[in-house]
């Protein structure tokens, strides 16, 4: 049935050379056969095939960092599972992918070997032998191009460390790509919070020793110049008296520019608008640099959005306490505008009851409308 379903020829068709070639290709494309021959006996087309073997068993040995269950799931998604048709190209692809996963964990010396064991009735057993090796330890971290801050201060920011006596417990000397990305972002933030708005990480080199046991990390930085704040402005529809918003500005004229202070100011203004019911307010600090005198104008663009009202207040996780016990602590009311302050105040009052290990609150928008939210308290 599988053969006839894939075969483009039917009884009664003319079997010229082109159509026979097409038929062979169509059958190979199914992936079920490793050899196909077409012949004829009078006007009967005879198709002789050699089927690919099916997978009878899969054994995995030597893995600890990745569980056998997860590996089996990955093999199945790739098309390698007991009962499936075996294709060597798929097995090779899986082997390479496993190798990549171990490299991503910093296990550069890991090896993955596969063995195909023929079995009776055109079946094969697959053996995957893994030698995970060890995670490469960081031997040296070097920052190049810094003139303002000393190497020690910058390297101290890194979560990754060179091997030290605490590394056995903390595992902080093991290289991982994700950790390095986080460290580079911390380094960038350090400069941006101290006025160096044009700071750039030019390149990062990670080199491995020939024995694949040690890693050397080099980070090249361009520091740029230090900028101070020339002017601070507000734009957009504030919805609250301007002097109240101005009092929240942590960024002042003459200060050294700091991205942290700018984002914190945006959060404070957003929170102030949230107290008035503008839950969907969006406040962005936009720096405008002046390279000629190394100063920055900062404009806080305020988009309050629509005032949001509370549709329902819901409680989840209170298996012992009645809803009424929680509801009487609410300072935010259903039908009133959604005040960030009152919602947080209600959360604090629930925590003070002493009945709950943890209290969390979410304010999802009500589907279909743009000015209502539900307030969901989940307690444990």
The 3-class SS string of 223-278 reads CCCCCEEEEEEEEECCCCCHHHHHCCCCCCCCCECCHHHHHHHHHHHHHHHHHCCC
- Residue 373 and residue 336 in one domain: yes
| Last residue in a domain, options 263, 278, 303 | 303
| Last residue in a domain, options 222, 252, 282 | 222
Q: What CATH number is attached to the domain comprising 36?
A: 3.10.20.310
Domain count, the chain: 5
Whether the per-residue pLDDT at 45 is higher than 70: the answer is: yes
- Residue 244 and residue 276 in one domain: yes
- Residue 118 and residue 165 in one domain: no
pLDDT level of residue 168 (50, 70, 90 thresholds) = low
- Residue 149 and residue 195 in one domain: yes
- Residue 73 and residue 47 in one domain: no
| Last residue in a domain, options 303, 324, 348 | 303
* CA count, 13 A, side-chain hemisphere, 296: 26
For residue 185, count other CB atoms closer than 10 A to its CB: 11
238-296: pLDDT as tens digits: 899 999 999 999 999 999 999 999 999 999 999 999 999 998 899 999 999 999 999 99
- Residue 36 and residue 74 in one domain: no
Which tokens in the block code for residue 124? 């094969």
| Nearest-angstrom CA–CA distance, 160 and 162 | 7
- Residue 374 and residue 320 in one domain: yes
92-144: pLDDT as tens digits: 888 888 888 888 777 888 888 988 888 888 888 889 899 988 878 888 899 99
Residue 167: the pLDDT is 62
Residue 7: the pLDDT is 85
- Residue 211 and residue 146 in one domain: yes
173-202: pLDDT as tens digits: 787 778 889 999 999 999 999 999 999 999
- How far, CA to CA in Å, does 202 sit from each of 144, 215, 220? 10, 20, 5
- Residue 159 and residue 198 in one domain: yes
Domain that holds residue 160: 137-222
Q: What's the mean per-residue pLDDT of the chain?
A: 89
Strand, helix or coil for residue 317: coil
Q: What pTM does this model have?
A: 0.67
- Residue 155 and residue 209 in one domain: yes
| Nearest-angstrom CA–CA distance, 160 and 171 | 9
Whether the per-residue pLDDT at 42 is higher than 80: the answer is: yes
């Amino acid at each position: 049935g599988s053969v006839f379903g894939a075969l483009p020829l039917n009884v009664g068709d003319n079997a010229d050379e082109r159509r026979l070639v097409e038929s062979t290709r169509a059958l190979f494309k199914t992936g079920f056969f490793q050899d196909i021959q077409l012949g004829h006996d009078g006007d009967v087309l005879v198709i002789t095939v050699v089927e690919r073997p099916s997978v009878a068993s899969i054994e995995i040995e030597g893995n600890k960092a990745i569980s056998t269950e997860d590996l089996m799931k990955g093999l199945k998604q790739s098309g390698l599972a007991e009962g499936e048709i075996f294709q060597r190209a798929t097995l090779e692809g899986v082997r390479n992918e496993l190798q990549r996963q171990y490299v991503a964990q910093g296990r550069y010396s890991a090896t993955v070997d596969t063995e195909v064991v023929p079995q009776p009735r055109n079946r094969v057993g697959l053996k995957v032998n893994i030698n995970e090796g060890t995670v490469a330890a960081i031997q040296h971290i070097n920052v190049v191009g810094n003139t303002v801050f000393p190497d020690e201060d910058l390297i101290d920011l890194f979560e990754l460390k060179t091997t030290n006596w605490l590394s056995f417990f903390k595992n902080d000397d093991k290289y991982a790509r994700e950790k390095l990305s986080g460290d580079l972002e911390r380094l960038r933030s350090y400069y941006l919070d101290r006025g160096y708005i044009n700071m750039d990480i030019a390149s990062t080199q990670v080199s491995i020793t020939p024995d694949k046991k040690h890693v050397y990390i080099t980070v090249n930085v361009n520091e740029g110049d230090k900028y101070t704040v020339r002017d601070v402005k507000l734009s957009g529809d504030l919805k609250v008296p301007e002097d109240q918003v101005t009092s929240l500005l942590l960024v002042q004229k003459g200060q050294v520019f700091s991205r942290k202070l700018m984002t914190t100011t945006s959060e404070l203004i957003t929170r102030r608008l949230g107290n008035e019911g503008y839950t969907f307010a969006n406040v962005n600090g936009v720096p405008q640099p002046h390279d000629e005198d190394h100063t920055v104008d900062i404009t806080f663009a305020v988009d309050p959005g629509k005032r949001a009202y509370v549709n329902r207040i819901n409680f989840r996780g209170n298996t012992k306490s009645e809803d009424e016990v929680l509801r009487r602590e609410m300072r935010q009311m259903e039908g009133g505008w959604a005040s960030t302050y009152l919602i947080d105040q209600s959360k604090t009052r629930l925590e003070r009851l002493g009945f709950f290990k943890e209290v969390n609150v979410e304010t999802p928008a009500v589907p279909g409308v743009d000015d209502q939210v539900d307030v969901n308290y989940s307690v444990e």
